[in-house]
Amino acid sequence: MTFEAQRSLLAVCLLAATALGFAAGTRAEGEAGPVVHTQAGPVEGTLENGMAVYKGVPFAQPPVGPLRWRAPQLPKPWPGVKKGDTYAPACTQVSRANPALGIPAVPTSEDCLYLNIWSPAKSAGDRLPVMVWIYGGGFTGGATSIPLYDGTNLARKGVLLVSIAYRLGPFGFLADSELTKESGRSSGNYGLLDQIAGLKWIQRNITAFGGDPHRVTIFGESAGGISVSMLAASPLANGLFEGAISESGGSFGSPRSGDEGGVNVPTLEIAERNGAAFLAALGASTIAEARKLPAERILKGPGASTMGGRFWPNFDGYVLPRDQYLLYSAGVQNDTPVLIGTNADEGAIFPHPRDAASFLKQVRAQYGASADKILAAYPAGSDEQAARSASELMRDTAFAWNTWTWARLQSRTGKGRAYVYYFNHRPPYPDVPLFKGVGATHGAELAYVFGNPAQQNMHFTEGDQAMSEAIMTYWTNFAKRGDPNGGSLPHWQSFTARHPVVMHFDGTPQLGAVPNLKQLEALDAYYAWRRSEAHEQ
């Protein structure tokens, strides 16, 4: 039977079978939950915190053996009822476990394309809005099983929460000319294709879990937020979601060809060249040979050092057609409302120069003819000033400029509104050296978004709890209506060129101006110069 025939047959009985599962009666906490029928087979969840939870649900075939470095394939039907009570292994990566920060050691595997669902629905007919979480980790790390990402508290606010996995590092983002030829179009964006496959699975199956496939909001942080930005620009994701939330994400710089400051996404040609060097260092002369190598050798072998740890999506002309700034300028993005923002001290925990000499050397090497203008906005008159400027430049090039630019472009060329935030609240961090002397650094908002402070070894005050409640309500309101406003929350005005307002989260949420505007404007001139240079080449 073809997939289309299988889909038509299953669609006829999907809702009826699922309704029987939901109607099976109330079970005790921790016991088996309803059995829900997906297109590949039935899944039995568990009852956790008063809702049905399904963990480790396959949305694609294991990308192993001959499927390594190929687009994800539809999951094969399974016999019997699959238990959905355990997270699947995280996608293969170098461990970043840090119990002090609430990051546990998790099992990893190439067989990792699974998703998890938290459903408060009482029946398949509830048609709840769906929020789809995409984790961060620099495209080389991350997992859906990190306790911080438990979806219970967001789901309690009347949404269905899904978290999806995607391939990482060389397994998710290796480009090579042989792979491009093999596919007939491109290579290197397998991690993004995994995300798209997860969203397609949701379109086909989420109704059975009580969700509405026509009210899907994607949201992510860091590399997950960048992924949201890329999905919002990818023609392959068109129609798969109706809203986008990006926390410390966005990708609007020009193509990367070398060591240019503030740009990350290479062209396919550059990515293929890097991939060839990676494979050569591994001693693999063909893709067939590389597919036979153990995952551990690919992850930690000599090839990893030649890439400097940088595996990233590329402008392949297929998943990512070209520079997102140009796509948005032309108004050809996947036009939805967006809720996007950054944190005040994003750059603090990232490596950056700590003295004036090092910072000056870096800026002059990476920013070319714009270096003097960058240094005027990010001065280095002393080691202390240089360290602060280096942190702020990291914050703005990686996160703040991209978010500000995204808001400007969406409000100018799109119909969906843009809502912008600035998180400037220092959480009650655990007492570890990483957080000494830093404010609202990268990821500081996550415990508030998910309402899970204990999972980051934090103890919220009453004020922290109130802020978390406000943020969760804004986020879920947005998922329900494409607008974060509602109830007694302070009104969140959308961002426009005439009124470029931002919701500041520090104490009671309140509207304010775009932070660090002069620095962002200096970067805007720099990026315009970079785009003109790329156009002339």
Q: Give dist(CA 430, CA 218) in Å, integer.
A: 29
Report the CATH number that the domain containing residue 320 is assigned in CATH.
Answer: 3.40.50.1820
119-137 tens-digit pLDDT: 999 999 999 999 999 999 9
Same domain, 177 and 217: yes
Going by pLDDT thresholds of 50, 70 and 90, the confidence category of residue 277 is: very high
Same domain, 291 and 430: no
The residue behind tokens 């630019």 is: 405
Q: Give dist(CA 433, CA 517) in Å, integer.
A: 31
Same domain, 264 and 375: no
Residue 418 · residue 337 · CB < 8 Å = yes
Look up the domain containing 327 and give its range. Answer: 1-336
In the predicted model, what is the mean pLDDT of the chain?
92
* Residue where a domain terminates, one of 336, 354, 385: 336
42-55 tens-digit pLDDT: 999 999 988 999 99
Q: Give dist(CA 212, CA 315) in Å, integer.
A: 32
The predicted pLDDT at position 310 comes to 78
* Residue where a domain terminates, one of 278, 311, 336: 336
Same domain, 390 and 425: yes
Same domain, 283 and 411: no
Same domain, 251 and 354: no
Going by pLDDT thresholds of 50, 70 and 90, the confidence category of residue 22 is: very low
CA atoms within a 13 Å half-sphere pointing along the CA-CB vector of 80: 3
Same domain, 468 and 376: yes
List phi, psi (to 5°) of 114: -135, 160
pLDDT above 70: residue 263: yes
Mean pLDDT lowest for which of 1-5, 235-239, 436-440?
1-5
Q: Catalytic residues, which ones?
A: 222, 346, 442
* Residue where a domain terminates, one of 302, 336, 370: 336
pLDDT above 60: residue 2: no
405-422 tens-digit pLDDT: 999 999 999 999 999 999
Q: Which residues contact 485 (CB under 8 A, 6 or more apart)?
A: 474, 477, 491, 492
Number of domains in the chain: 2
The residue behind tokens 């110069």 is: 529
The predicted pLDDT at position 20 comes to 29
Q: What is the mean pLDDT of residues 464-475?
A: 98
pLDDT above 50: residue 402: yes
Q: In terms of C-beta density within 10 A (0-12 exposed, 13-18 middle, 19 or more buried), how is residue 261 classed?
A: buried
Same domain, 264 and 388: no
Same domain, 330 and 348: no
Same domain, 314 and 352: no
pLDDT above 50: residue 23: no
pTM: 0.93
Residue 299 · residue 93 · CB < 8 Å = yes
Same domain, 154 and 167: yes
Q: Which two tokens mark 428?
A: 């009650």
pLDDT above 70: residue 199: yes
Number of residues that make up the chain: 537
Strands 418-423 and 502-505: parallel
**Segment (H or E) for 44:** strand 41-48
Comparison of pLDDT for 304 and 508, the residue scoring more: 508
Same domain, 343 and 327: no
